[in-house]
Every structure is written in structure tokens, then in C-alpha cells.
Amino acid sequence: MRPIWKYLDKMRCFRKRSTIPFLGVLISCLLFMNLYIEDSYVLEGDKELIREVSTHALNSEHYVHTFRDLSNFSISINVTYRYLAGMPLPRKKYLTIGLSSVKRRKGNYLLETIKSIFEQSSYDELKEISVVVHLADFDLSWCESIVLDISRKFAHHIISGRLMVIHAPEEYYPVLEGLKRNYNDPEDRVKFRSKQNVDYAFLLNFCANLSDYYVMLEDDVRCSKNFLTTIKKVINSREGSYWVTLEFSKLGYIGKLYHSRDLPRLAHFLLMFYQEMPCDWLLIHFQGLLAQKDVIRFKPSLFQHMGYYSSYKGAENKLKDDDFEEDTFDIPDNPPASLNTNMNVFENYEPSKAYSSIDEYFWGKSPSSGDFYQIIFENPVKISKIKVCTGTEDRQNDILHHGILEVGERITGTKAGRHCSTYLRLGEFRQGNVEISDVDLKVLFDIDCMRILVTKPQKEWLIIRSISIWTSSSPSQ
């Protein structure tokens, strides 16, 4: 194969213009030459679209995209974006993943974040995602070097139309000096967080029509395996229920999922209040204004913060999400069931909260020997795996210090006091947790009940943080 520069020269792709528009030409040439680059991820149905996009890009002089918002808002967003790499395909995807990145004094994690998104996605999942990176720094030489690194490392994803890099020029930003000193923040901190709000607003604005759903990540994040499949399962499970934001991480602006139809409103909101407070605080107000009263966060988390140095002054940032699981993960099935306990429940931390995938938990006062937490399934089930976690990061002593996990069959008793007539012990809690695999190989009957049994009294209270049940085949008839 001849050197890439020979083809570029032959195709007259070199032009006397600024470096960043030249990078758009470079990527367009790579798109045009996709026959010379092996890409096992390019879908047959997309190849004609890719040819059309590449031809359009080669004939374009500006490599920009103007978005004029036509929604019913008094403030209109009219931004001319520069395409630094890639072009959107006409076909909508299922999910857009948005990242905004600026130059850091120490460390740069953007390439690792992009790599994690693609490596943790299957071939079928890659068909349904689009990744948009907003290089939001005003230092164009830095943007140039980052685009070159991205183009070298992820050329086949750019060719396939699943990776785009954009830039909103500085002249479109509002005033960033002399802003309100809310919360007694220093002036440079106010400027940093205010600009970040605008960075995100421009990114959201760009992504509004690319897919059905949108998830925001930061530029220093590691992804869980097959995160898209899990997100789809969560969305499908909430069909018919109202939500504005679903959260798949408890940290910052990581793993926050929206309907794409809400992105213009969210972009407007961030711009209107850009100098008032940090973006993650504004998000709480936004979902409240749209009548989502409570946080809806799912666990385990699908995204983990991996950066050690913050983009603000290179300060250390060691935040980690203790609910993150990186290995292959699918949300549990947790079949329909009734839940009860004979423990003294604290306030409104009722038993059902431990069985939900939302970030809530059961909290009972000091349990005694023989106390139980019981699950009675609506129908007999075959179970492949069970995982129970107790305690929280804030209350690490409120675990089950001594207890066992049991499954049972043959429900007896009245509706008010039902239980199983026989139980089989599966395992013992150790350091507050228990996880049992291959349950269907160890239990020969269809399971009607599951029970957490306290075997010794404890003075500490008990938090059951999560109960996860994965089912196998349908129970025998």
C-alpha cells in the first residue's frame, strides 16, 4: 500500500488554510479512501451513506454545521460548529454518547475513554451508537494535536460514521469574565464551571437529532462491558413510566441518560443559568422543573471515573464509584415477588427498596437471631445466580455480620403470613455479602421463596443495599 500522503497529494487534498479545517479535509480523504482501510465494523447498509457523506465533505469549503433551534423558547441557539473529524450519517442511531474535553495541566484520559466505549461494545451494539467529542478548548493547537491522535487511533470508527469530533468557536461563547461569585467560589473557579456549562450546552445542542437517546460522559471514564445492552434493558423495563433523567453513575455528569427530544431544552437551561452553579447541580433543578421528583439511579454503575487529575487546575480528583462493575454485566431479572420482614423497619426504608434496581435500600434496626427478610415469588422460578450486598459506603458497619441465604419451596400460610414449608441453605454471608452462582445446578426444585436469615444478634442496624436475582430457563411444569 502506498503512503497515505501520496494519495492525499494526488487527490489535491492539501489546501492553504488553517490547520484545523485541513484536518477536516484529511478525515474526508480517509473517508473517501475507506476501501484501503480495513474496517470490520462498517455495515453494508451504511457504505453508500458513508460515500455520500465523504463526497459532500470533500466538496465543502468550511466543514461546519449550523444548528438553529426552532423550539418554543425565547432564546435561540445559533452556533456554527467545525467538524474536526467525521460526519453524521443521515440514519438515526439508538444512542449518542457525548463527551466534552478541554486541555488539562496534568494527564489526558480522552483517548482511553473513547477506547473503552468501543472495546466494551459488541459488534451489534456498535451498530446502534454514535460518539460525539466536543473539543471545547480555545487553544487550537491543542485541538489539532488531539484530533490527529484520535484520527490515527480510531480511523475505522470515524469512517463508519460512529465517531465525530466537533468544535464550537470561541466567538459563540457568552461573557466569561466578571461573573457572579456564587458560593464564594474564586473567580477562576467561577469561570471554569461557567464555561463548562456552555461547553455541555453546545454539545447537547449538536446531538439533539442524532439518536433516540443520549448519555453524557466525562472525558476520563471507563465503561462497563456491554453497557448499551444494559441501558436498553432498563429503558424497556420503564416503558410507560415517566422519566427525565436515568442515572448510571452517581458521580458528576457521568452516565446521565436523556431522551434526545429533551436535549434542546436542557441546552437552553444550561445557557440561561450558566454562571449560577455547577452543571451537576443545574441538572437536579432541570429534572425537578420537568416534574421528575426523585433521582432514578441504577446499580451497579455502568461508568467509572478513572482520572486522577482534574481538568480544573490539575487538582487531584480521586473520586470513585463503589457501585461500578466492569466485567460482563447484565441487570438482574428480579422476578415479580412480595417482600416482607419481621425486623423493625426504620422510617420509610421498607423491604421493597432492596429488591429494586434503583439506588435505594432496606434499613432495619438491630436484628436478633432468627429475624428474616423474605421474598415470595409470584410464580415458581429457576434461578441461575443470586447476589446480596449489605451496608453502604457511608455506613460500613450496618452489614449483616452473621447470616445465611436460603431458598424454599411449597408456600403455606395465610396471605398475611405466607412462607415456604422447607428451606435449603445456599450460602453464608461473609463481610456482609453473599454471591451464589449455578443455583439451578445446586437446587433441584422450582424456587418459591428466598430468605435472608440472621443467625446471631447484632447491635448495629442492618442495611440490605441490593438483592439481585438472575433467572435461567422457565420452571418445569
Q: Are 362 and 353 in contact (CB under 8 A)?
A: yes
Burial of 412 (0-12, 13-18, 19+ CB in 10 A): exposed
CA dist 72 and 70 (Å) reads 7
Calculate the CA dihedral of residues 36, 37, 38, 43 and round it to 10 degrees. Answer: -100
**What is the residue whose three cell numbers read 470533500?**
58
> What are the structural domains, with CATH classification, of the chain?
4-305 (3.90.550.10), 337-471 (2.60.120.260)
Q: What is the DSSP letter of 266?
A: H
pLDDT at 133: 96
What pLDDT, on a 0 to 100 scale, did the predictor assign at position 251? Answer: 76
Convert the pLDDT of each residue in 71-130 to its tens digit. 444 445 788 899 999 988 788 999 999 999 998 776 678 999 999 999 999 999 999 999
Which grid cell sits at 31? Answer: 473517508
Q: What is the pLDDT of residues 408-426, one digit of tens each?
A: 998 887 766 788 989 999 9
Q: What is the pTM of this model?
A: 0.67
Crossing angle for the helix pair 19-32 and 140-153, to the nearest 10 degrees? 10
Provide the 3-class DSSP secondary structure of residue 184.
helix
Contact between 400 and 390 under an 8 Å Cβ cutoff? The reply is yes
pLDDT of res. 418 = 83
The three cell numbers of residue 73 are 423558547
C-alpha to C-alpha distance for 319 and 301, rounded to whole angstroms:
14
What pLDDT is stored for residue 280 in this prediction? 83
Radius of gyration of the chain (CA): 26
Residue 393: the pLDDT is: 81
pLDDT tens digits, the chain, 477 residues: what are they? 444 333 334 333 333 334 454 444 444 444 444 433 334 445 555 555 444 444 334 333 334 444 444 344 444 578 889 999 998 878 899 999 999 999 877 667 899 999 999 999 999 999 999 999 999 999 999 999 999 999 999 998 998 889 999 999 999 998 888 877 777 778 888 888 889 999 999 999 999 999 999 999 988 888 888 999 989 988 988 888 899 999 998 877 889 999 999 999 999 999 999 888 888 888 889 998 999 988 888 877 888 877 444 444 444 445 544 454 555 456 678 888 999 999 999 998 999 889 876 667 899 999 999 999 999 999 999 999 999 999 988 899 999 999 999 999 988 877 667 889 899 999 999 999 999 999 999 999 999 999 999 999 999 999 999 999 999 865 444
Question: In sequence order, what are the residues at sequence separation of 6 or more whose Cβ sits closer than 8 angstroms to the Cβ of residue 270?
Answer: 197, 198, 200, 201, 204, 279, 282
**Calpha distance 324→321 (Å, rounded):** 6
Taking Cα atoms as reference points, which of 331, 280, 279 lies closest to residue 301? 331
Give residue 56's pLDDT.
37
Q: What is the pLDDT of residues 464-476, one digit of tens each?
A: 999 999 998 654 4
How confident is the model at residue 60, as a pLDDT? 34
pLDDT score of 476? 45
